[in-house]
């Protein structure tokens, strides 16, 4: 059996997360997730005696946001082998414009031979039938599987 966490560890993490994501400071980032990462990048850029103006902070936010999204897009290129599929999967919006995903463990699925991305080009899916997803022009077998075709 594994080691039991010390009493109060969860409250300590909650307080740490709250401090870091609300502009406060902490000696250590105990959470180390996507929320604390982007906030940390902003805080690092505004520390010091020469704190930036509101306009400079907005410009820095744009840069931090762009850098974060570039890392996400680079990760898609790194994992997804087909360039067309990778291009369709890349997000081209601001980081907090939509609810961010905090893992990319689904990306290797697009390398499976029995998986095809149905790119709706922003129109969304109207309906799903046993053999097709609308508005896709062609019929696609929509049998669901949670593992690669060669795994047992």
How far is residue 53's CA from residue 47's CA, in Å, rounded to a whole number?
A: 12
Report which of 79, 42, 84 is spatially closest to residue 60, judged by C-alpha positions: 42
* pLDDT tens track for 73-132: 999 999 999 999 999 999 888 877 777 676 788 999 999 998 888 888 877 777 777 765
Is the bond leading into 80 cis (omega within 30 degrees of zero)?
Answer: no
Q: Identify the weakest region by mean pLDDT among 7-11, 18-22, 141-145.
A: 141-145
* pLDDT tens track for 123-146: 777 777 776 555 544 555 555 555
Give residue limits of the domains in the chain: 10-111, 112-152
């Amino acid at each position: 059996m594994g080691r039991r966490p010390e009493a109060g560890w969860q409250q300590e993490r909650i307080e740490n997360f709250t401090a870091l994501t609300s502009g406060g400071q902490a000696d250590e980032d105990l959470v180390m997730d996507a929320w604390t990462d982007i906030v940390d990048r902003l805080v690092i850029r505004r520390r010091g005696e020469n704190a930036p103006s509101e306009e400079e902070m907005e410009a820095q936010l744009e840069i931090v946001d762009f850098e974060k999204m570039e890392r996400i897009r680079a990760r898609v290129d790194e994992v997804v082998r087909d360039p067309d599929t990778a291009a369709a999967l890349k997000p081209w919006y601001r980081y907090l414009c939509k609810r961010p995903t905090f893992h990319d463990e689904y990306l290797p699925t697009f390398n499976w031979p029995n998986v095809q991305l149905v790119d709706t080009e922003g129109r969304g899916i109207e309906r799903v039938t046993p053999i097709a997803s609308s508005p896709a022009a062609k019929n696609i077998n929509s049998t669901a599987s949670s593992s690669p075709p060669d795994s047992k």
